[in-house]
Amino acid sequence: MSAERRVVRWAYLGRVPYAEASALQERLRDAVRTGEGGEHLLLLEHPHVYTLGRNAKRSVVVAAEAWLAERGLEVAECDRGGQVTYHGPGQLVGYPILNLDPDRRDVRRYVADLMEVLVRLLADYGVAARAARPGEPIGVWSGGRKVASLGVHLKRWITTHGFAVNVSTDLAFFEGIVACGLAGVELASIESLTGRRPSLAEVAAVCAGHLGRVFGREMAEIAAADIAAPAEV
């Protein structure tokens, strides 16, 4: 293996349906596994959707079907860890497709590193945040309120799924679920905490920079249209 730093191709993709983003992750993961593609960081937002992790039961969606239909909310099951969360406009979602083999084969370290990326990102926007402490639900917190969530999946040490940061998210949508499996959990966003409403494209660029520094990767921005194109490894 080359001693040079690995290159992660990243792009901000705008608004992408959840199923489409899931399929793209799988294609990129398989390309890494077969040696036909390199590492990626997908940064995007989703239309309104509740996603159920491997540990979640359908009962954590407490909203009535009529309430969901009126708001155009999809409910999707997925293979990430964790419980239920909401994704929607104004929330930056990050899907790192990274190969942790051979030097970062440690799931706890991977999750801790992702939280560190988000803590640094939030600090840049004036939010004093911290990673979850031992025994706390995984995520990033500010003053007892959850600002970012994580849910990851690893297959042969290649990562999919990732994190979501509330930037200018309408937090009322979390009322339809038992967010993260925690009754009464308070949510926050960059906007609710600071009054600032940065664009997701801007936040995505800042996020990519921090991920490169924390993971020791060279970050290469590419056009959204080129994200699924083959890359040299």
d(CA 220, CA 210): 13
The encoded tokens of residue 53 equal: 């992790």
- Residue 180 known to be catalytic: yes
Q: Which tokens is 201 given?
A: 């494209």
- The residue to which tokens 């077969």 are assigned: 34
Question: In degrees, to the nearest 5, what angle opens at C-alpha 173 toward C-alphas 118 and 71?
Answer: 135
Residues 6+ apart with CB under 8 A from 57: none
In 34-129, DSSP assigns E strands to 39-45, 49-52, 74-77, 84-87, 91-97
Question: Of 8, 100, 122, 180, which is the active-site residue?
Answer: 180
Q: Tokens for 27, please give them.
A: 């294609």
Q: What is the distance between the alpha carbons of residues 11 and 13, in angstroms, rounded to a whole number?
A: 6
- Residue 15 CA to residue 147 CA, distance in Å, equals 20
- Per the CB < 8 A criterion, the answer to whether 158 and 98 are in contact is yes
Task: Give the bridge partners for 77, in sequence order.
Answer: 52
Q: Which residues are catalytic, by number?
A: 180
